[in-house]
Amino acid sequence: MAAEVLGADAVKHCVGRFCLTVPAVMARSADTFVVQGVTLEEVAWDRSAKDPWEAEWLKRLQYIEGLKSRREAPTEAFGTILEQRMFTPGSLKGVLYCPTETTTLGMFGAIYNAGDGGLWLQVKTSVKNKDAAGAQLAEIAPAYHVTEPAVTPPRGAFYLVRGYLASPFKLAEEAHARFAGGPDKLDLGFSYETTFEPRTEGLMARFASALEKSAATLFGGGARPIRSGKRKVAGLPGEELVLHTSENGKEGLAFTWTTPGEAKSGKHPEISIELTAPADRREERLQLWDALLDEIKPAP
């Protein structure tokens, strides 16, 4: 049933520790990944460079140098490099710099050489805690691998776009991705984050509260529920809400599913899934939404 609705050419995407299948016409974008407070950015090498890893390193240093243009006084620290560190020759080196005007708060960034691609890691830190921040980068980076067709990632991997971290959940993480496009102008957002204080207020209660406070701002004064209730996705209990919206004469459908998650859990984080679509062919849109949710699974 899902294959019929999503299309025979539907594409499976893994985002962090979950996978979903979406129509091939929906392009992926807006990916964000954070593990243990460290932001991860995959890097495609400049193939024209003699040493792509070194070329990317110089590019990052140029960006930091450019931060100096934000200074409004000589005492401001924007773009000041406090330290450069070679963690592992040939594979990981980092730079501690000032992303703001103060010298007490730093950003520790590092570029990792994973062979066919790279990974830029960065974490905010106080300068006095720089060594702990550096240790985080050195721990996470070697777990990154660029995906190879003939190699199956280990069970429980954390997936990015081009590659994955071969490491289990630890402390906290988050992942976000967007899928959009096609003649129907569908827009799907998938987001999850480790929670430490799960929300207790349900979707319908939040919807009612939002309408009461500022309906015109949030929904153009015209939003009505057409389906709501408890629903499991990827084996996790949650709640869905489907709205028919009207704003400036434009009709639409807004789908939402959320689960508040369990505190400090890697298997049950707080998850939010949202889809917007035109209001025509409502039953077809509902079938698509159902198929999208049914195909979301924990990553293998």
- Residues ≥6 apart with Cβ < 8 Å to 236: 259, 268, 271
Lowest mean pLDDT segment, chosen from 27-31, 151-155, 215-219: 215-219
Q: Quick one: which of 100, 17, 23, 101 has its CA closest to 285?
A: 23
3-state secondary structure of 103: coil
- Compute the C-alpha angle 7/174/10, nearest 5°: 5
- In the chain the domains, ranked by start, together with CATH numbers, are 2-33+173-298 (3.40.1000.10), 38-165 (3.40.1000)
If 0-12 CB within 10 Å is exposed, 13-18 middle and 19+ buried, where does residue 283 land?
Answer: exposed
- Model confidence pLDDT, tens digit, residues 52-81: 999 999 999 999 999 999 999 999 999 999
Task: Say whether pLDDT at 213 is over 50.
Answer: no
In 10 A of CB 146, how many CB atoms?
Answer: 17
Q: Is the pLDDT of residue 219 over 70?
A: no
| pLDDT of the residue at 207 | 57
Which residue's entry shows tokens 């929300």? 199
What are the beta bridge partners of residue 227?
242
Q: Are 279 and 251 in contact (CB under 8 A)?
A: yes
Largest Cα–Cα separation, the chain: 65
C-beta atoms surrounding 10 within 10 Å = 20
H helices within the chain, ranges in order? 2-6, 52-66, 130-140, 203-219, 282-294
Note the pTM of the prediction, 2 decimals. Answer: 0.90
Quick: pLDDT tens for 135-176. Answer: 999 999 999 999 998 889 999 999 999 999 999 999 999 999
What does pLDDT average to over the chain? 92
Q: How far is CA 276 from CA 82, 104, 112, 141, 282, in A?
A: 46, 43, 37, 36, 12
Token duo for residue 196: 């430490």
Q: For 253-281, what is the mean pLDDT?
A: 95
Q: What is the pLDDT of residue 248?
A: 78
Condensed to tens digits (0 to 9), the pLDDT of residues 228-263 reads 999 999 999 999 999 999 887 789 999 999 999 999
